[in-house]
Structure 1
Amino acid sequence: MSEIEGRAGEDIARRLNRLLAESGQAELDIDIATRFEAYLDLLVRWNARTNLTAIRDEDGILRRHFVESIACAHALPTEIRSLLDLGSGAGFPGIPISLCRPELQVTLAESQGKKAAFLREAVRRLEIPVLVHGSRAETLGRTFDCVALRAVDRMEDAVRAASALVIVGGWLAPLTVESEYGQIRELAGPAFTWNRPVPLPGGDRRVLLLGRREG
């Protein structure tokens, strides 16, 4: 890494940690925060030619995508060991979860080819042990301790698909707005019992929902 690149990485790391502190989240170790800088750089460059996310500026990505996903990583139950990010898109929340919770076996499921290609490049560049599944999650042929989903297309279909991929005793973890809580509970079905919604930073009444699948 050049001296200029090193200074840029430190700047992004400081900005990210400042935003985390402002939102009441624990700051990241500098090596992890600097890896988020590499993720940000890759995302901005790919977003210039591929529609990965509608938020394209650095500050917006840090505030809306990174901080929320990091908060999710910290709020997930400690006992989980495998996690599926269904409809991962640009990698939220799965890639930040992997960076913050390296003990987890993370799978990113993304059926859109260009987005899946970005995810593979991000996993390679960040050197994280994450599997990218470039097809529908239902074709994985396995279940997970936790299935997370955020900003997915066709929420009704996504919640039903995600619910079926959670092991008994595992967790369904949608990142959504508070007003969708009742609908998501109904879509997931009676097999799930729900914790109190966890508020997420960034406003707009964003929450993490945690539903546990009973026997």
Structure 2
Amino acid sequence: MAKLDPAEIGVLLQPYLAEEPSRSLCERVQRYLALLEVWNKKLNLTSVREAAQMVERHMGESFYMARLLPEFQTMLDLGSGAGFPGLPISLMRPEADVMLAEAHAKKAVFLREAVWMTGSHARVWAHRVEEMERDYRFDVVTLRAVDNMPDALALAMDRLEPGGTLAFFTAQGGETRLPEAQWAHVATHNVPRSGGRILIATLAQ
């Protein structure tokens, strides 16, 4: 995989951010990419192998989701995998308590190392989300690539605070139904440089 310097990473990230990315942020992304390259050789964390695509599709699109989210104190990234979108969101919202939930043991080990390498304040939950205390709920729950979206959305709903926000990616041309609930606000946003969309839905209080 071709290496990218912080300036090149900054150019790739610019369409997804409200302002020019700092060198510090670009260096964190650079460290993440180096770690992902090593781990991807032994654990298939992502099918994307080209560095620029990783920056845009994984980091950039996750940063874009961070822009769309309301203010929050707690967030759960359900089925975090390689850390998307939760890890980038934690870099954009360092004041928030972000939990990356990943039951796959080796992926959870990778996430802990990625958190350390990037200086993120995120925590890793290396168990099934169903094993959390029943009253453990979050202001925001995010999802990206999950095996069974309807089941994952139902699980996400169990972890949302009243008035909380559900945020997830939908594929181009894909149609994902929101779970039945009293929604105060629902909006769909086109992802820059992509055919994908982000759905943001906020529960009524």
Q: State the TM-score, normalizing by the size of structure 2.
A: 0.91
Please list, as runs of the form range in 1=range in 2, the aligned pairs for 1:113-152 lying within 5 A after superposition: 113-141=105-133, 142-152=136-146
On the 8 A contact 1:173/1:210 being kept in 2, the answer is: yes
TM-superposed deviation, 1:131: 1.0
What is the Cα deviation at residue 192 of structure 1? 2.5
How far apart, CA to CA, are the structure 1 residues paired with 2:95 and 2:145? 25
d(CA) in 2 for partners of 1:95 and 1:112?
17
Structure-1 separation of matches of 2:142 and 2:192 = 17
Which residue of 44, 52, 55 maps to 1:51?
Answer: 44
Is 1:13–2:6 an aligned residue pair?
yes
Percentage identity across aligned positions? 37
Which residue identity lines up with residue 146 of structure 1 in the other structure? Answer: V
Q: How far has the Cα of 1:162 moved from its partner? A: 0.5
TM-score scaled by structure 1? Answer: 0.87
Q: What is the Cα-based RMSD across aligned positions, in Å?
A: 1.7
Question: Are 1:197 and 2:197 counterparts?
Answer: no
Measure the CA separation in 2 of the matches of 1:167 and 1:180.
27
Aligned to 1:41: 34
Aligned length: 201
Aligned to 1:208: 198
| Higher-helix-fraction structure | 1
Contact kept? 1:16, 1:33, Cα under 8 Å: yes
Gaps of 5+ in 2: none
**Alpha-carbon distance in 1 for matches of 2:174, 2:130:** 23
Deviations 1:68-89 (A, max 9, x none): 0111111111x21111100000
Flag the 1:24–1:57 CA change in 2: closer, same or farther, 3 A.
same
Amino acid at match of 1:122: A
Q: Compared with structure 1, are the counterparts of its residues 22 and 80 closer, same or farther at alpha carbon in structure 2 (3 Å cutoff)?
A: closer
In 1, Cα distance between equivalents of 2:79 and 2:186:
23
Q: Which runs of 5+ in 1 are unaligned?
A: 1-7
Q: Which moved more, 1:56-65 or 1:38-47?
A: 56-65
Kept after mapping to 2: 8 A contact 1:98/1:130: yes
